[in-house]
Structure 1
Amino acid sequence: MSTDSDIIRRSRDSPSAFGELYDKHASIIYRYAARRAGDFAADDVTSETFLVAWEQLETYDLDRDDARPWLFGIATNLLRRHHRAEAKMLKSAGKAASREALSDDSDRIAAQVDAAAATASIASTLKNMAAIDRETLLLYAWADLTYEGIATAMGVPLGTVRSRLNRARQTLRSQLSLEELDETENDHGRLAAAPRNA
C-alpha cells in the first residue's frame, strides 16, 4: 500500500493521484471537523483542508510518510475561523444536558442523569478553556493524534504540546473536582456523606 508521501510525490506529477489522499483521509478530517464545529461546518472545513493541501503540495516534507498531522494542522487552522460556531455548540450542549437532567422524571436511571450532568460540566469547561489548550486536547482526544502528530499539526515543539495537554487536563480535573465538592456540601458548609457510586 502506498504511503501518504508516495501519493503526494505522484500527485506532483499527476494531479489525479491526489484523489487517493482525499479518499484515504477525508472521512477522519470530516469527523474531526464535525465534532469541533458541527456537521454544518464539517463539509466546508474538509473541502477547504484538501484545497489548501493541494495548494501547498510542494511544501510537504516527503520524509513524513503519514500526512495526517499535516492535514489536521490545516484543518485546525481553518477551524479557528469557525471558533464562534464551536463555542455556540459547546454552550448549547451544556444547556441541553442541563435541561435533560432537570426535566428528567423518575423514568430515567441515575446513571443517565449523571452522564447528562457530566456532559454539561465538560462542555462548559471546554468552552471556557483557553482556545489553544482546547485545540490541543481535541486533537489528542478526537483526532487520535500522538504528541508528535499534534506538534506537527500545530507547528510547535513537542514540549509545548505536553505543557498544553497537561494544562488542559488540570483544568478539566480542577473544574470537575470543584463541582463535585459543591454537590457534596450541605447547607452549613460541611461535607455531606460521600456521594454514592452508581
Structure 2
Amino acid sequence: MSPDNEVVERSMREPAVFEALYDRHATSVYRYVAQRLGDHAAEDVMSETFLVAFERRSAYDVTVQNARPWLLGIATRLMRKHARLEAVSWKGLSADLAAQVAPDFIEQAGVRIDAKRLTLRLVKALRRLSEADRDTLLLYAWGDLDYASIALAMKVPVGTVRSRLNRARRLLRRAAGRHTIEQETDHGRVDASPQHT
C-alpha cells in the first residue's frame, strides 16, 4: 500500500487514485467533525473536506507521508464556516469534553472534587478559549494529532502549537482549581521536535 504522499502525487496523473485517501481517512475526519459539530453536520463537512483536498492536491507537500493532518486542517477551516452551528452545539459538546477532561484533573490533583461543579467550571473555561486555542486543543484531544501534525494542520510553527496548548492547559488547570504546574503526559503522543528558546 502506497503512503499518502505517493497517492496524492499519483492522483495528479490518475485522479481516481485519490479515492484511496478517502478510504483511509474519511472515518477519522468524520469522527473529528462529529465531535465538534454533531453527526448532522459531519457528513457535509467531511465530504467538503475531501472535495477541497482533491481540488488543492497540487499544493500538497509531498515530503509529508501522512495526509491526515492536512485533511484535519482543511476540516478545521471549513468548520469555521459553521461557527454559528458550532456555537449552538458547543454547549452540549463542551460539557462532554469537560467530562472527558475532568477525570484526568481529579486523578492528577489526588483530591476528591465534586465532579459536577468541576465540569461546569471547565465548560466555562473551554468557552473562554480563543478559536485558535480551541482548534489546537481539539486537534490534540479529538483529532489525536501530535504537535508536529497539529502544526501542519493549522499551518503554524510547532512553537505556536506548544504555546496554544500551554495556554489552554493553564486555563483548564485554573478552572480545575490546580494552582501548581505539574508535568503532563501526552498519552503516548510524544513531541519529538527540537525545543526552541
TM-score (norm 1): 0.75
What does the per-residue CA deviation read over 1:101-135, in whole Å, with 9 as the maximum and x for residues that have no partner?
xxxxxxxxxxxx95554444333321221111111
Does the 8 Å CA contact 1:94/1:121 hold for their aligned counterparts?
A: no
Give runs of aligned pairs for residues 156-195 of structure 1, distance below 5 A.
156-177=156-177
Whole-Å separation in 1 of the counterparts to 2:176 and 2:94: 14
Give the number of the structure whose residues are more often helix, by fraction. Answer: 1
Structure 1 171/18 Cα, relative in aligned 2: closer, same or farther at 3 Å?
Answer: same
Q: What is the correspondence of 1:32-181 to structure 2 with a 5 Å cutoff? A: 32-93=32-93, 114-177=114-177
Distance 1:128 1:88, change over 3 A: farther
Unaligned stretches of 5+ in structure 2?
Answer: 97-112, 179-197
Give the equivalent residue in structure 2 for 1:2.
Answer: 2
Larger radius of gyration: 1
Asked whether the 8 Å contact 2:94–2:126 carries over to 1, the reply is: no
Distance, in Å, in 2 between the alignment partners of 1:95 and 1:45 is 23
Shift of 1:90: 2.4
Counting aligned pairs with the same residue, the percent is: 52
Give 1:87 deviation, angstroms: 2.2
**Equivalent pair of 2:36/2:90 in contact (CA under 8 Å):** no
Counterpart CA distance in 2 for 1:36 and 1:14 is 33
Amino acid at match of 2:125: T
Q: Which amino acid aligns with 1:154?
A: M
Listed one character per residue, the Cα deviations across residues 34-89 of structure 1 (whole Å, up to 9, x for unaligned) are: 01111111111100100000000111111111111111110110011122222222
**Following TM superposition, by how much is the alpha carbon of 1:95 offset from its aligned partner in structure 2, in angstroms?**
7.8
Return closer, same or farther for 1:129/1:173 CA change in 2, 3 Å cut-off.
same
The CA RMSD measured in Å over matched residues stands at 2.0
CA distance in 2, matches of 1:155, 1:95: 28
How many residues are matched? 162
Q: Is the 8 A contact 2:36 2:93 kept in 1?
A: no
| Equivalent residue number for residue 186 of structure 2 | none
Which one is further off, 128-137 or 79-88?
A: 79-88
Distance 2:50 2:86 in 1: 21
What residue ranges of structure 1 are gaps of 5+ in the alignment? 97-112, 179-198
Preserved contact between residue 12 and residue 58 of structure 1 (Cα < 8 Å): yes
Contact 2:140–2:146 (8 Å) recurs in 1: yes
Q: Deviations over 1:146-189 (max 9, x none)?
A: 100011111111111000000000111111218xxxxxxxxxxx
Counterparts of 2:94 and 2:58, CA distance in 1: 43
CA drift of 1:94 comes to 6.3
